[in-house]
């Protein structure tokens, strides 16, 4: 079973419907036990970094999420669900993130030529050989809505790069973790392929 973390914010139902359109079951949950028992876990997110971390703490979900990740099963972070993996964000000074990955989340620099938030379709330069990107062409277009982006301390975890005034990390991958700044559930057939690949990874893990 794929579980989607329900912490009262984000595009939860659209992610759930995307999996269901592909023929996979997905449940919304804030139960620590359900999270730990899942074959795969999705952390979506829309909103402010600080508000999301506050909700995760209030529902006692931070530790179950980190424990799930340390267990080695497939994990997918989407948009703010990517940013929350890091240690902190310029958006919410003093608020600690999950700290699963080293680094911070930064705001796009002021540039009169570019609108912030970065909203709309953009290309992703995908790191070769990613199982979750199987069948997806390098340079494919995905849908973005964000004003902040991660700066990992370890560049080796960067799995996708995108240009928007600057080059930024639009996806990360480390062991069982994959997280993307773009919204696969809003990215047409290419985004659905990514979700399908993730679902198959979860299914295989569930057979073990």
Q: Which residues are designated catalytic?
A: 79, 183, 185
Question: For residues 27 and 37, what is the distance between their CA atoms, to the nearest angstrom?
Answer: 12
Beta bridge partners of 77: 43, 179
Host H or E run for residue 189:
helix 188-206
What's the start-to-end Cα distance of the chain, in Å? 13
User: Residues 16, 55: contact at Cβ < 8 Å?
Assistant: no
Closest among 147, 144, 150, 146 to 105, alpha carbons compared: 150
C-alpha to C-alpha distances, 63 to 46, 54, 56, 140, 146, nearest whole angstrom: 20, 13, 9, 34, 26
């Amino acid at each position: 079973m794929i579980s989607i973390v329900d912490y009262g914010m984000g595009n939860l139902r659209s992610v759930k419907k995307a999996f269901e359109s592909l023929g996979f079951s997905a449940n919304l949950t804030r139960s620590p036990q359900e999270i730990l028992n899942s074959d795969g876990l999705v952390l979506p997110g829309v909103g402010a970094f600080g508000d999301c971390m506050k909700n995760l703490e209030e529902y006692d979900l931070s530790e179950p999420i980190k424990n799930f990740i340390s267990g080695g099963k497939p994990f997918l972070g989407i948009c703010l669900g990517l940013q929350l993996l890091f240690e902190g964000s310029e958006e919410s000074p003093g608020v600690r993130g999950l700290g699963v990955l080293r680094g911070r989340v930064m705001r796009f620099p002021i540039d009169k030529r570019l609108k912030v938030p970065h909203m709309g379709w953009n290309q992703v330069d995908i790191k070769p050989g990613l199982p979750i990107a199987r069948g997806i062409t390098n340079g494919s277009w995905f849908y973005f809505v964000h004003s902040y982006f991660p700066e990992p301390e370890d560049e080796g975890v960067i799995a996708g790069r995108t240009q928007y005034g600057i080059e930024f990390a639009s996806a990360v991958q480390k062991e069982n973790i994959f997280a993307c700044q773009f919204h696969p559930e809003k990215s047409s057939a290419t985004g659905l392929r990514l979700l399908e690949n993730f679902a198959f990874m979860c299914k295989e893990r569930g057979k073990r």
